[in-house]
Amino acid sequence: MLDTLIKNAVVIPMTQRNLVLRDCSVGIRDGKIAYIGSETPEANEVIDAAGRTVMPGLINAHAHTAMCVMRGYADDYSLRSWLFDKVFPVEARLDERAIVAGAVLGIAEMLRTGTISFSDMYFCQPAVAKAAERIGIKANLCNAVIALGDDYDFEKDRAVIETRKLLEEYGSTGPIRADVAIHAEYTSSPAVWKRVHEWAKDHGVITHIHLSETRAEHEEAKARRGMSAAAAFEANGVFDTPVLAAHGVWLDREDMDILASHGASVAHCPVSNMKLGSGMANVRAMTDAGVNVCLGTDGVCSNNSLDLFEEIKLSALLAKAEALDPTALPAYDALKMATVNGAAAQGRADETGRIALGLDADIIMLDTNAPHLRPSYDPIATAVYSAHGSDVCMTMVRGRILYRDGEWLTLDIEKALREVEEYAVPIVLGK
């Protein structure tokens, strides 16, 4: 007996290029996908998906979710002013309660728009982990090491202490897990990178970094190290364990080869990169080089949303516009970045990112009855070029429905909004 059966669905399993299954049932037992086929085996709960598209839940591979408390607080500023006059001073004021409030609101938005797992770099992650666990979304959480100043002490670094706590409480497997993180080349030194890498090796976890986001950062690394940031990280062993590198806007071809040869992933964040004036990453070159490219929203301060459907469509558009070739990055490949590739980047390739037997039932449903999604000649094109996150009508993680038809089933959205607007916003405003 199945726990849940989703029947009459159009399914995009993401197991084979352009494969679409019609009049298909997906069965779930003990949180896993236990049936895919044209029959309708018995189940405790049956969901009729007629006129709906069922696909793997999306993976947001680079986020600073708690920044939701600052949505729209710092737009259209120069990067320096954005960081030093707006973001950093606010972050210095945010306490754990405000950060958890922002994270919960961000998680609500992610669930509402079809994201089932996110890789997050921010502060107070042990508390965020508890919130994510309570709500039921998956997450790879890290607090990035920033090792500036002569008196930097790895052992006393808040990021290190928090990550150790996460590793202790959640470990390197399971729905919530710890990553380790180096903030970026320009905010730390090789001695610290080696320590983080040793740590990653000892615990078998992913190292999350920011890499070559802006031209200035990329060029300054070369001037400082005599080599690119990617090459410097490689020379210090950072890539010897799995790395998830955010942005990669200014990577040289040689950098891409370094990442590819070590099996590293790049979290492409097109909206954020464009909005901050950082540039436009060359996804096709990275993919051609063999890099696993996935997608991220970055924080809402540079977006200003956590809707991966925007990143999916924009990544396809950007690749076509840059190549002056409408066949560049077809719809399937754009969707693959947000599912299969994201799962690989999170170390969850055998667990999620596809609708396949034995994988976790991390499933979303699009309401393709909506007039703006009709007619539909190709469900994959519809999902990529016409759908928005607002078309998601169900988000299920490990077989458990967390969002459905306007309702969040594991969080109190009104309370979450009050907590942000009544507690966190005054802190942001310095009141």
- Residues 62-91 interacting with a copy of itself (rule: CB under 8 A): 69-73, 75-79, 82
CB of 116 to a copy of itself, least distance (A): 17
Which C-beta is closer to a copy of itself: that of 147 or that of 308?
308
* Residue 404 lies near a copy of itself (rule: CB under 8 A): no
Position among 14, 26, 105, 116 found at the interface with a copy of itself (CB under 8 A): 105
CB of 85 to a copy of itself, least distance (A): 13
Position among 321, 350, 407, 415 found at the interface with a copy of itself (CB under 8 A): 321
Q: What is the CA radius of gyration of the chain?
A: 21
* Residue 303 lies near a copy of itself (rule: CB under 8 A): yes
* Residue 357 lies near a copy of itself (rule: CB under 8 A): no
CB 121 within 8 A of CB 181: yes
Position among 6, 28, 49, 108 found at the interface with a copy of itself (CB under 8 A): 108
Buried b (16+ CB within 10 A) or exposed e, 7-38: bbbbbbbbbeeeeebeebbbbbbebbbbbbee
Which C-beta is closer to a copy of itself: that of 123 or that of 332?
332
Query: Tokens 């990669």 map to which residue?
Result: 248
Which C-beta is closer to a copy of itself: that of 148 or that of 321?
321
Separation CA 60–CA 307 (nearest Å): 9
CB of 276 to a copy of itself, least distance (A): 5
CB of 210 to a copy of itself, least distance (A): 17
Backbone φ and ψ of 293, nearest 5°:
-100, 125
Give the Cβ contact number of residue 66 at 10 Å. Answer: 32
SS3 378: coil
Show the DSSP H helices in 136-189 as ranges: 158-170
Piece of the chain touching a copy of itself by CB under 8 A; list 8-16, 126-134, 288-296, 414-422: 414-422
CB of 266 to a copy of itself, least distance (A): 17
Buried b (16+ CB within 10 A) or exposed e, 100-118: bbbbbbbbbbbbbbbbbbb
Which structure tokens are listed for 185? 């080349």
* Residue 354 lies near a copy of itself (rule: CB under 8 A): no
- Name 341's Cβ contacts closer than 8 Å, sequence gap at least 6: 265, 292, 293, 294, 295, 353
Separation CA 332–CA 340 (nearest Å): 11
* Residue 317 lies near a copy of itself (rule: CB under 8 A): yes
CB 97 within 8 A of CB 69: no
Position among 46, 260, 349, 381 found at the interface with a copy of itself (CB under 8 A): 381
Residues found near a copy of itself in the complex (CB under 8 A): 69-73, 75-79, 82, 105, 108-109, 112-113, 215, 271, 273-280, 300, 303-307, 314, 316-318, 320-321, 323-328, 330-331, 371-372, 374-378, 381-382, 385-386, 388-391, 413, 416-417, 420-421, 424-425, 428
